[in-house]
């Protein structure tokens, strides 16, 4: 379903544990966009007893595999359609070329891609640490390795595609969460979005 006229989408991409979710929370505080996490939406759906997709989502997530595109895009579109806001940070999507093409053609083309670029070892340590308390079914060493493989094989080509058309803003992300620079007013100015309040 096409997004309403004037909808602006920023994709937030990066490997597992690169800090996408953490940095999105900071961006939301600074700029007030709506944060949609594909992973969170899928986890919510998986836990919804009325969902017919719950078991399927669980099977894919447990293996670190990409959940079938129709499910993820349906959940994202529903949120976009139901929101009063028109600027969305979409975190963890698209993870594969077919998702990117489908969304660009049928929902809305992204204005910008934020790529959190982090070393594998750093990401791995973060996820193992989180796994001690998160209860996430995919924060164990076997699934973490599978998630890295999927990122390398399926998701990096998506980032490369957007790089080729000049839409990617790369953010080095090995440092502590406070030191990783996210986006600033300078970047917003470049995007020429006059209706955003850059003053605060
Ligand atoms: P998803 O939930 O998106 O997981 P992910 O991409 O593997 O990323 P994470 O949420 O684990 O990490 P993050 O980069 O957000 O980092 P975070 O800020 O949390 O996806 C999970 C699964 O859902 C997929 O495997 C797939 O099955 C399915 N799925 C998701 N999207 C899909 C799609 N589009 N299509 C189909 N299937 C999809 O930080 C991680 C940890 O590190 C935290 O503990 C945090 O506190 C810490 N941390 C963060 N930044 C720093 C820092 N700078 N310094 C120190 N610690 C830090």
Bridge partners of 12, per DSSP, are 91, 114
25 known ligand binder: no
d(CA 19, ligand 1 centre) in Å: 7
pLDDT digits over 53-99, tens only?
Answer: 999 999 999 999 999 999 999 999 999 999 999 999 999 999 999 99
130 known ligand binder: yes
Answer whether 133 contacts ligand 1 (Cβ < 6 A).
Answer: no
22 known ligand binder: yes
Q: Is the ipTM of this complex over 0.85?
A: yes
Residue 88, judged by CB atoms within 10 A of its CB (0-12, 13-18, 19+), counts as buried
Residue 117, judged by CB atoms within 10 A of its CB (0-12, 13-18, 19+), counts as middle
20 known ligand binder: yes
pLDDT digits over 169-193, tens only?
Answer: 998 999 887 776 556 666 666 555 4
pLDDT digits over 104-133, tens only?
Answer: 999 999 999 999 999 999 999 999 999 999
> In the structure encoding, which two tokens stand for residue 137, read together?
């079914």
Answer whether 124 contacts ligand 1 (Cβ < 6 A).
Answer: no
Residues 6+ apart with CB under 8 A from 168: 113, 114, 115, 159, 162
d(CA 18, ligand 1 centre) in Å: 7
Q: How far, rounded to the nearest angstrom, does the alpha carbon of residue 80 sit from its chain's CA centroid? A: 14
pLDDT at 143 over 60: yes
Nearest to 122, CA basis, from 12, 27, 11, 19: 19
At 196, is the pLDDT very low, low, confident or very high (cuts 50, 70, 90)? Answer: very low
Q: What is the DSSP letter of 5?
A: T
Residue 200 is predicted with a pLDDT of 39
Nearest to 154, CA basis, from 77, 76, 60: 60
At 1, is the pLDDT very low, low, confident or very high (cuts 50, 70, 90)? Answer: confident
pLDDT at 14 over 70: yes
d(CA 47, ligand 1 centre) in Å: 18
Identify the residue whose C-alpha is closest to ligand 1 atom 53: 177
Residue 184 is predicted with a pLDDT of 63
pTM metric for this prediction:
0.93
For residues 5 and 7, what is the distance between their CA atoms, to the nearest angstrom? 6
| Full set of structural domains in the chain with CATH | 8-191 (3.40.50.300)
């Amino acid at each position: 379903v096409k997004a309403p006229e004037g909808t602006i989408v920023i994709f937030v991409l990066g490997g597992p544990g690169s800090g996408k979710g953490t940095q999105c929370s900071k961006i939301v505080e600074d700029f007030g966009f709506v944060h949609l996490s594909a992973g969170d939406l899928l986890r919510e759906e998986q836990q919804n007893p009325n969902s017919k997709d719950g078991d399927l989502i669980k099977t894919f997530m447990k293996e670190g595999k990409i959940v079938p595109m129709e499910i993820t895009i349906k959940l994202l579109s529903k949120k976009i359609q139901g929101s009063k806001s028109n600027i969305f940070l979409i975190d963890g999507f698209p993870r594969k070329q077919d998702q990117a093409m489908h969304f660009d053609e049928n929902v809305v083309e992204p204005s910008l891609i934020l790529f959190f670029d982090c070393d594998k070892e750093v990401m791995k340590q973060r996820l193992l640490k989180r796994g001690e308390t998160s209860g996430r079914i995919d924060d164990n060493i076997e699934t973490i390795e599978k998630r890295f493989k999927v990122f390398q094989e399926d998701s990096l080509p998506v980032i490369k595609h957007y790089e080729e058309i000049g839409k990617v803003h790369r953010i080095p992300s090995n440092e502590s969460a406070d030191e990783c620079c996210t986006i600033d007013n300078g970047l917003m100015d470049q995007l020429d979005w006059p209706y955003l309040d850059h003053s605060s």
